[in-house]
Amino acid sequence: MEYNQSEFLIETIVPQDELIISRTDLKGVITYANETFANISGYSVEELVGQTHNIVRHPDMPKRVFKDMWNKLQNQQQWTGVVKNLRKDTGYYWVHATISGVYKEDKLVEYKSIRVPISYEDRLKYQKIYDQYRNIDKENIRRVIYS
């Protein structure tokens, strides 16, 4: 994968006092997005709702992280983890996400995700871990073309 936009290297910092919240249907199609999610991702709420959640998937994220996420969710367990997300302008932001089921009369109807910022040290740590995972799994390596 190649990127030639310099925005690809620009990080958006998630404010400490705000939560990024979304809900999806059981297939991962966004049914609700709060204003903070829209602001941080660079999309409008209207642009997000109706899209699959991989609209913010960053190419640095290893496939195995999402495999683990969906395994947990499909086994009715909560998933927590660190995610690097892609902004509309190809910049990025890091979050710690807690994703779990939404139940109506004991029936799983949706998933919800609540995300908070992580420390600078953790951002460096997870970038390294995820680079290693992608290397081990022979996924894409990072290639940024400067224009």
Ligand X SMILES: Cc1cc2nc3c(=O)[nH]c(=O)nc-3n(C[C@H](O)[C@H](O)[C@H](O)COP(=O)(O)O)c2cc1C
Residues near ligand X (CB under 6 A) are 22, 24, 28, 53-54, 56-57, 61, 66, 83, 85, 99, 111-113
Using DSSP's 3-state secondary structure scheme, residue 65 falls into helix
Q: How far is the CB of 25 from ligand X (least distance, A)?
A: 9
User: What's the gap between Cα 35 and its chain centre?
Assistant: 16
Q: How far is the CB of 146 from ligand X (least distance, A)?
A: 25
Helix residue spans in the chain (DSSP H): 35-41, 45-48, 63-74, 120-136
Cβ pair 72, 80 in contact under 8 A: no
**Which residue, 91 or 113, is less far from ligand X as judged by CB?**
113
Separation CA 25–CA 2 (nearest Å) = 31
Q: How far is the CB of 4 from ligand X (least distance, A)?
A: 22
**Which residue, 24 or 87, is less far from ligand X as judged by CB?**
24
Q: How far is the CB of 108 from ligand X (least distance, A)?
A: 11
Separation CA 110–CA 47 (nearest Å) = 19
**Which residue, 5 or 57, is less far from ligand X as judged by CB?**
57
The tokens for 132 are 């290693």
**Which residue, 108 or 136, is less far from ligand X as judged by CB?**
108
Q: How far is the CB of 121 from ligand X (least distance, A)?
A: 21
**Which residue, 127 or 147, is less far from ligand X as judged by CB?**
127
Separation CA 140–CA 58 (nearest Å) = 11
